[in-house]
């Protein structure tokens, strides 16, 4: 056996013939030693997801083999997570500021009865107003958490998505009851 090609590494072609391994000659302590040149392994395709049927695999396909919808790569999901995080920060921050100013307005109006601005609704309407604020702030916080999850793990979290939809439903119901009380 030729010592240039035998370092315990057996590289074979499909027809089982031994292939020569590219090597580099290194001089260590006045001895010429041949080391194999290591080449990088080919990169695996990214994990892709179908948001419709929840199929996922490492593939280079652009469409889901089950349902035909477009696939989203982990990179795409992470970019969407960044956008979702910023949107959640905006939504929860903006609604928190509105809730703060409404509260400050109501406190000021209650201290000064001669002020022309006042709240003419019932206690139920006030409670529903704050429930709507809480629902929108909760949606924003859920968007932040879902976005961070997508950034960290590169996939969606269905529990957070269902929590988000539940908060939408609660906010919608509170808004509908508020509208019914206002009329």
Confidence grade of residue 41 (pLDDT, cut at 50, 70, 90): low
Delimit the domains of the chain by residue range. 3-36, 44-70, 74-182
pTM score of the predicted model:
0.68
Rounded to 5 degrees, φ, ψ at 67 are: -115, -15
pLDDT score of 38: 62
pLDDT score of 180: 80
pLDDT score of 94: 95
In angstroms, the CA 97 to CA 88 distance is: 14
Q: Are 104 and 119 in contact (CB under 8 A)?
A: no
Q: Is 73 exposed, middle or buried (0-12, 13-18, 19+ CB in 10 A)?
A: middle
58-62, 71-75, 169-173: lowest mean pLDDT where?
Answer: 58-62
Confidence grade of residue 70 (pLDDT, cut at 50, 70, 90): confident
1's tokens: 């056996």
Q: What is the pLDDT of residues 158-169, one digit of tens each?
A: 899 899 999 999
Confidence grade of residue 156 (pLDDT, cut at 50, 70, 90): confident
Residue 13 has pLDDT above 90, yes or no: no
31-35, 72-76, 135-139, 168-172: lowest mean pLDDT where?
Answer: 31-35
Pick the residue with more confidence: 35 or 132? 132
pLDDT score of 166: 92
| DSSP conformation class of 63 | B
């Amino acid at each position: 056996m030729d010592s240039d090609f035998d370092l315990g590494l057996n590289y074979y072609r499909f027809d089982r013939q031994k292939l020569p391994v590219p090597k580099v000659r290194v001089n260590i302590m006045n001895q010429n030693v041949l080391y194999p040149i290591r080449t990088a392994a080919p990169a695996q395709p990214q994990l892709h997801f179908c948001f419709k049927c929840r199929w996922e695999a490492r593939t280079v396909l652009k469409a889901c083999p089950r349902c035909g919808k477009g696939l989203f790569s982990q990179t795409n999901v992470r970019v969407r997570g960044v956008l979702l995080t910023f949107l959640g920060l905006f939504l929860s921050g903006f609604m928190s500021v509105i809730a703060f100013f409404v509260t400050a307005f109501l406190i000021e109006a209650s201290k000064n009865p001669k002020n022309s601005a006042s709240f003419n609704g019932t206690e139920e309407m006030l409670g529903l107003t704050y429930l709507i604020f809480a629902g929108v702030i909760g949606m924003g916080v859920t968007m932040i958490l879902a976005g961070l999850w997508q950034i960290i793990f590169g996939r969606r979290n269905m529990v957070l998505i269902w929590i988000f939809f539940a908060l939408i439903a609660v906010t919608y119901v509170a808004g509908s009851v508020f509208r019914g009380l206002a009329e």
